[in-house]
Structure 1
Amino acid sequence: MITPYVKRLVKGDDLRNSLLELVKVNSIQAGSLLTGVGCLSHANIRLANEKNTLNITGPLEIIMLSGTLTPQHIHVHISVADREGNVYGGHLMPGCIVSYTTELCMVAFNNMIFSRDYDPQTGFEELVISDKTN
C-alpha cells in the first residue's frame, strides 16, 4: 500500500518549504523522500552539532536528498557539491533555493502513520511509527 509522488520544483522555490507543502496538500501521514536531484542557488544546512548552520551560495548540485515525512515535520538530509566538487551535508533547512529545477520522488505508506514525540534520551522529537489498522 504505497502511493508514489513526483514533483518538479522551479527556480526560486524553497526546497524544504515546498516539501512540507507537498506533504500537507497530499495528506501524507507517513512518507519517505526517496531521492531528489537538481540545482540550488543557495543552501542552508544544519550541521551535525545541532547548533550551527552552513550557508552556501551556489551554484550547487544536489548530490543526495532523503528523509522521512510527517504532516507536522520533515526530517530530510541533503548533500550538495559546489563548482569545485567540494561536498557539504547535513539537515535540510529553510533557505535552500532552487536555481533551475529540482526533481523529487517520494512515497506515502498508506498503512502507517508517522508522528514525532519528545525522546528524553536524545533530547529531540523522534519518529513514532504507528500501524493505521490498529
Structure 2
Amino acid sequence: MIYHSAKIKRTIVIHLSMGEDVLESIKAVIAREGIKSGLVLTGYGTLDIARFHYITHTNLPPNDEFKVIRGPLELTGMHGVIADGEPHIHFTFSDMEQAYGGHLEPGCRTLYLCDIVLAELEDVDMSFVVDPVTKLRGLTLTPRIEEPGVKVEVEDARNVRIVKD
C-alpha cells in the first residue's frame, strides 16, 4: 500500500452543453489549466451516447469489453483521478430499464447538459506506472518534498522511497 495526504489547491467546475464530448472536454480543461495531479470529484447530467469499457473476467491479464449505449441516458455519477495530466474516470449511468457502469471513453456525448467538478491537488504528484506483480498500470503517489538534500525515488507502483543525501 502507498498513500499520501494532499491538499486541494483549487476546484474547477465544468458545464457542458448539448453535443459536447464529456471526456474530450475534461481533457481540454485539464490541459488548459495545467493540472498534473487531481481528482474528478463528481459529475452528473444527461447523455445521448455513452461509450465505455468494463472487465469481463477475474484472471490476469484483464480483458476489456467496449460498449456503446444510445440514450436518452441519465449520467448518475462520475469520479476518478488525474495523474500525469491524464484523467482516469469511471461513471454510472442509466436508461429507463437498467443501470450501467464502467470506464469512461471518448464518444460519450452530452444530451442536454453535464456538470463536472475537478480538484487540483498540491503536495503530491500522481502518475501511472507498471506494477511489477500484475504488470498493470497502477496509480503511484510521490510526495512533493522541497527540502535540501531530500529526494523521492519511484521504483515502481509498489516501491516509493524518500532518500536523504
Across the aligned residues of Structure 1 and Structure 2, the Cα RMSD in angstroms comes to: 1.4
Partner of 2:69: 56
Match of 2:44 among 37, 41, 44: 37
What does 1:1-134 align with in structure 2 at a 5 Å threshold? 1-2=7-8, 3-49=10-56, 50-84=63-97, 86-134=98-146
- Aligned counterparts of 1:72 and 1:31: Cα–Cα separation in 2: 8
- When structure 1 is superposed on structure 2, of 22-31 and 58-67 the one drifting more is 22-31
> What per-residue deviation string (whole Å, max 9, x for no partner) do you get for residues 10-64 of structure 1?
1111111111111111111211111001000100110123421121000000111
Quickly say closer, same or farther: Cα 1:28–1:72, change in 2 above 3 A: closer
Distance 2:16 2:67 in 1: 22
Q: Name the stretch that deviates more: 75-84 or 45-54.
A: 45-54
TM-score by length of structure 2 reads: 0.75
Stretches (4+) displaced over 3 A: none
CA distance in 2, matches of 1:22, 1:133: 27
Kindly indicate whether structure 1 or structure 2 has the higher relative contact order, using CA contacts under 8 Å at least 6 residues apart. 1
Decide whether the 8 Å contact of 1:23 with 1:70 is kept in 2: no
Aligned-pair identity in percent equals 29
Query: Gaps spanning 5+ residues in structure 1: where?
Result: none
Question: How many equivalent pairs are there?
Answer: 133
TM-score (norm 1): 0.91
Higher Rg of the two aligned structures: 2
How far apart are 1:113 and its partner, in Å? 1.1
Conserved? CA contact 2:43–2:79, under 8 Å: yes
Q: Displacement, 1:129?
A: 0.8
The one-letter code matched in structure 1 to 2:54 is: L
Aligned-pair CA distance for 1:72: 4.3
